[in-house]
Amino acid sequence: MRGSVVSAVAALAAVLVGCGGGTTSPPPVPVFTTLQVTPDTATLIGAPGTTTQLTATPLDQNGSAMSGLGAATWSSDDAAHATVNSSGLVTSVAVGGPVTITGSLTASGVTKTGTSKVTVTALSSTAAVTAEAALAFSPATVNITAGGTVTWTFQSVAHTVTFDAVAGAPANIGTASSPVASQAVSRMFPTAGTFTYHCLIHSQMTGTVVVH
């Protein structure tokens, strides 16, 4: 019984190989199908003059990137809040949005477009970070103006805020032998820069303060 089933399967496989196993069809010709714009959403922090780069990639019918089709053109539907140049670089003008940035590419008579939604948010002089009991700084990155203040709120688990060696960083909060729990501590950032920090107790806890 079992043997006859195996024989039947083997016979069927032989038939299938005999029918088509010896031929190969040519690969399908790539057809320009989609223009993928990345990232599809972005946030510009502060205005005017902060920037983010968009990229437009033509894709074929299988979702594979195509080359040699030329460069996309770019447009903004709300130049009062964000503009885009011929290279896809978006620049904030005023807080608002989301602004729809459209990339467009015509190749072989086919035009495809893709979009990204860009929101322009205000840059604040203050930011709040929670040093969570779940072993994370949240949010991991905050942005403030020069002279602004960040306040870390420590939950029940003790942590440190230990700045990496960057000139202009404020004093650390807590030490390995005396970490901080269940209170809020603020630090002022007088100068622009990117200040990374970590927790001495939990090496996976890292964060960044970007001062503009």
Give the interface with Cu ion as residue ranges (CB under 5 A): 159, 199, 201-202, 205
C-beta of 37 vs 199, nearer to Cu ion: 199
Alpha carbon dihedral 63, 65, 66, 72, in 10-degree steps, equals 100
Q: Which is nearer to Cu ion, 66 or 128 (CB)?
A: 128
Q: At its nearest, how many Å lie between Cu ion and the CB of residue 155?
A: 10
Residues 6 or more apart in contact with residue 122 via CB below 8 angstroms: 46, 47, 95
Q: Shortest Cβ distance from residue 171 to Cu ion (Å)?
A: 18
Residue 127 C-beta: closest distance to Cu ion, Å: 19
- Mapped onto helix, strand or coil, the DSSP state of residue 196 is strand
In the complex, what is the shortest distance from the CB of residue 202 to Cu ion, in angstroms, rounded to a whole number? 4
The C-alpha R_g of the chain, in whole angstroms, comes to 28
CB 209 within 8 A of CB 127: yes
Q: Is-contact 35 114, C-beta < 8 A? A: yes
**81 versus 159: smaller Cβ distance to Cu ion:** 159
Nearer to Cu ion, 130 or 145 (CB): 130
